């Protein structure tokens, strides 16, 4: 094997915990350099659908996930190398706290040598912020920390106290004042979908650029140091579960996959679409909310989203419900993930306790359950093969059929999410990451050929 290298400035934005302002600052930084004519490629650590939508609009470039467990080292390395070939700057937004999870944001940054900037909400503390940042920076020897970003800093005196308490090798990169005008809108599963608030986001992005410029510490407004990204000249196999990669190529050649995509269904990894297309599939989108008929297709994908916010409209569109029921009866492949599974059930009770009929292609009832929910990394263990993914939902299902399998939790022995299969339908709360097993993914969409 031979290796190629490319150099590109890169910065990994992390934090001591969630809700410190990582996404807001990553989006602001992406727009700041984009406005200067730079090509900024942004990646999001871990399974996330909403943050990438925001970051893609801010950077005007596609945003994909990087996750060592879900995708594998080779996959992440290949994605970074491809981005470095075209970008003037690579930004990676971490998940949760800097060392949370296994693998953590720090593991990913260390693996690829990307320096980290610590984003910290410093409201209510001063020198303690410096102490926390110093502890994070020195917790592991293999992690490079470029400096601290003090978010929600009250005044220049506040910033001075933090700046003076930091060691010389840990600079204060930016001091950002409290400003609700740049805060990103949220709802019960996280940020609001970008498509719903595009114009508002544009206003907030440009306001955030001015917000960055007001800092007394300008280190964040300079391009970070270049990182060396490597490409190994071989086929990238994400999970290395098969040595017959050449047999997977074009497995879906000549097949059309119809993908539900609208305000109710939008939790779609770009990586999943790319994976399907790499196997030869043609992708067509349709709206269960607005369309009356299905496009001509060999398989359907009903991804996650917010069907609970649109339950009445989904229920009222009886033409689409009948079209999907007729498609199900053919035995062709249907993948229904999380919100797509709720749509597949007999009925769904929304956040207002109103109950609406759904597709009825899977026995059972779905209901929202407030703030309690389930989340975590899991592997779908199914006859077609193991596919990695995650769960994140605040609903429950009841009176469903006997599962064909369960998710295998990353670190816990208890069974994960139930997985149902009947006719050509595969349904579960799990969101699958297709590149983790292309062969098994192809089999799901070729259900009518499985005999």
Which residues belong to the active site?
338
CA distance 209 to 25: 9
DSSP code at position 7: E
Judged by phi (left if over 0) then psi (alpha if -120 to 50, else beta), residue 211 lies in: alpha
Query: Distance between CA atoms of 357 and 202, rounded to whole angstroms?
Result: 37
Q: What angle do CA 374, 375, 380 make, to 5 degrees?
A: 105
281 in Cβ contact with 309 (< 8 Å): no
d(CA 102, CA 98): 11
Q: Are 10 and 224 in contact (CB under 8 A)?
A: yes
Q: Supply the Cα-derived Rg of the chain in whole angstroms.
A: 23
Distances (CA, A) of 287 to 85, 222, 259, 294: 36, 43, 8, 9
What secondary structure letter does DSSP report for 142? T
β-bridge pairing 304-305 and 265-267: antiparallel
| Phi and psi torsions of 395, nearest 5° | -145, 175
Phi/psi at 338 (nearest 5 deg)? 55, -105
CA 51 → CA 91, 187, 367, distances in Å?
Answer: 13, 13, 25
**Is 355 within 8 Å of 342 (Cβ atoms)?**
no
């Amino acid at each position: 094997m031979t290796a190629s290298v490319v150099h590109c400035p890169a910065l990994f934005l992390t934090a001591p915990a969630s809700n410190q302002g990582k996404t807001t600052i990553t989006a602001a930084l992406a727009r700041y350099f984009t406005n200067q004519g730079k090509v900024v490629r942004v990646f999001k650590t871990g399974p996330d659908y909403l943050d990438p939508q925001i970051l893609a609009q801010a950077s005007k470039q596609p945003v994909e996930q990087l996750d060592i467990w879900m995708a594998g080292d080779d996959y992440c390395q290949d994605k970074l190398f491809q981005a470095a070939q075209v970008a003037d700057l690579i930004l990676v937004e971490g998940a949760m706290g800097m060392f949370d999870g296994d693998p953590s944001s720090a593991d990913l940054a260390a693996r690829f040598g990307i320096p980290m900037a610590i984003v910290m909400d410093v409201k209510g503390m001063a020198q303690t912020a410096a102490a926390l940042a110093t502890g994070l920076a020195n917790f592991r020897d293999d992690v490079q920390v470029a400096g601290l970003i003090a978010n929600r800093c009250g005044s220049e005196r506040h910033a001075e106290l933090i700046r003076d308490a930091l060691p010389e090798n840990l600079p204060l990169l930016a001091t950002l004042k409290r400003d609700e005008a740049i805060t990103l809108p949220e709802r019960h599963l996280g940020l609001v979908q970008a498509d719903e608030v595009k114009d508002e986001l544009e206003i907030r992005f440009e306001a955030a650029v001015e917000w960055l410029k007001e800092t007394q510490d300008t280190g964040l407004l300079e391009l970070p140091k270049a990182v060396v990204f490597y490409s190994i000249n071989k086929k990238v196999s994400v999970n290395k579960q098969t040595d017959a990669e050449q047999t997977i190529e074009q497995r879906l050649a000549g097949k059309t996959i119809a993908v539900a995509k609208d305000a109710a269904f939008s939790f779609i990894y770009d990586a999943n679409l790319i994976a399907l297309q790499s196997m030869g599939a043609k992708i067509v989108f349709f709206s269960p909310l607005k369309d009356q008929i299905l496009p001509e297709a060999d398989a359907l994908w009903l991804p996650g989203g917010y069907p609970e916010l649109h339950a009445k409209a989904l229920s009222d569109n009886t033409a689409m419900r009948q079209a999907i029921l007729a498609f199900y009866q053919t035995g062709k492949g249907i993948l229904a993930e999380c919100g797509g599974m709720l749509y597949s059930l007999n009925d769904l009770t929304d956040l207002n306790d109103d109950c609406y009929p759904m597709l009825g292609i899977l026995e059972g009832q779905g209901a929202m359950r407030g703030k309690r929910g389930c989340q975590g990394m899991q592997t779908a263990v199914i006859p077609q093969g193991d596919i990695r993914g995650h769960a994140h939902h605040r609903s429950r299902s009841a009176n469903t059929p006997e599962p064909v399998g369960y998710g295998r939790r990353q670190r816990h022995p208890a069974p994960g999410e139930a997985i149902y299969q009947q006719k050509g339908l595969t349904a579960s709360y799990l969101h699958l990451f297709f590149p983790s097993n292309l062969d098994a993914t192809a089999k799901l969409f070729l259900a009518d050929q499985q005999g």
